[in-house]
Amino acid sequence: MRIAVVGATGLVGKKMMEVLEERNFPVSEFYPVASPKSVGLKVTFKGKEYEVIGMEDAISRKPDIAIFSAGGTTSKTWAPKFAEVGTVVIDNSSAWRMEPNIKLVVPEVNADILEKTDRIIANPNCSTIQMVVALKPLYDKYKIKRVVVSTYQSVTGTGKKAVDQLMNERNGIDGEKAYPYTIDLNLLPHIDVFLDNGYTKEEMKMVLETKKIMGDDRIRVTATTVRVPVIGGHSESVNVEFENEFDLAELRSLLEKSPGIIVVDDVANLRYPTPLMAHNKDEVFVGRLRRDETQPKTLNMWIVSDNLRKGAATNAVQIAEYMVEKGLIVSR
């Protein structure tokens, strides 16, 4: 496969190259792509040095797959141009996620909706991805009525500028700010912009994307998203109300047998998922499984995953792997 990574010099772009290499994705030609200011820089992939190229140059080479992590405006402009030359675009921005004719895919949940004619495929929001991976087996068995989620999201979700801010604050350096407030030793209940309804865009992404990925508009979702001074992964406290009654032991077993999930739930021995546990791993970690004692058919759970991997790069690569495996992408 001829593969382009668009946004190759960014945090997620670098992680995408790392994941492609680790998972031994079949790459015959590799094109790192970035904005004009980064063209000519060198990146290393599979032990070989490559020069970063621009958009037009990449399109002229007609890659089989282009994995985008370059922001919504860039994706809106350039993804269709790649698609026009027959490239399958897997886009990590929010640009295409809620477009009715664009598939929003988490392979463990809904890869079966992908078709050979799909040319632009959306990678969901990082916090949505890890939640729906854990919810899918439970939805299939018990049906879900309502989800209440509070997130504890790593600064890596904002990008390098935010990581630099945290580290500068920790080291007493006055540097560039990604956030309106200090993030070290602090929490910010503010991810993305605030909307007219008082929720942030990140919170509404979780609401709308969950319904689309699960293919069920009846699921009620409400979210509060919080930025925390953590590097390693996003954590979520999730309260799920089911339509049907559940047995907790059966539910735990169901999660343990589901793809992409590792259950860490042994409070007697103080074992539960943490961001450091999930760091640099591709699985979604689930623990603190317990009944909500205030109402029937309701579960509390704790979900942790590396937001740069499963929440972004790995999920995108898994989409590509699935399409290649099913013959939905054939090298030209």
Tell me the CATH number at 48.
Answer: 3.40.50.720
* Same domain membership, residue 268 and residue 151: yes
- pLDDT of res. 239: 98
Residues 319 and 219 in one domain: no
One domain, residues 143 and 286 = yes
| Same domain for 79 and 149 | no
54 domain residue, yes or no: yes
Considering the domain architecture, whether residues 168 and 288 belong to the same structural domain is answered as yes
177 and 265 fall within a common domain: yes
The answer on 109 and 20 residing in a single domain is yes
The CATH number for 229's domain is 3.30.360.10
Residue 173's pLDDT is what?
A: 97
52 domain residue, yes or no? yes
Within a domain: 330: no
In a domain, 332, yes or no: no
Please report, in tens digits, the pLDDT of each residue of the chain (332 residues total): 999 999 999 889 999 999 999 999 999 999 999 999 999 999 999 999 999 999 999 999 999 999 999 989 999 999 999 999 999 999 999 999 999 999 999 999 999 999 999 999 999 999 999 999 999 999 999 999 999 999 999 999 999 999 999 999 999 999 999 999 999 999 999 999 999 999 999 999 999 999 999 999 999 999 999 999 999 899 999 999 999 999 999 999 999 999 999 999 999 999 999 999 999 999 999 999 999 999 999 999 999 999 999 999 999 999 999 999 999 998 87
pLDDT at 11: 87
Distance CA(260)–CA(281), nearest Å, equals: 10
Inside any domain, residue 299 = yes
Number of structural domains (the chain) is 2
Q: Which positions are catalytic?
A: 126, 234
Q: Are residues 179 and 154 in the same domain?
A: yes
Q: Which domain holds residue 209?
A: 127-307
Indicate if 172 and 290 belong to the same structural domain: yes
Q: Is residue 331, in this structure, part of any structural domain at all?
A: no
* Same structural domain, 192 and 239: yes
- The pLDDT of residue 332: 75
Task: Tell me, yes or no, whether 140 and 256 share the same domain.
Answer: yes
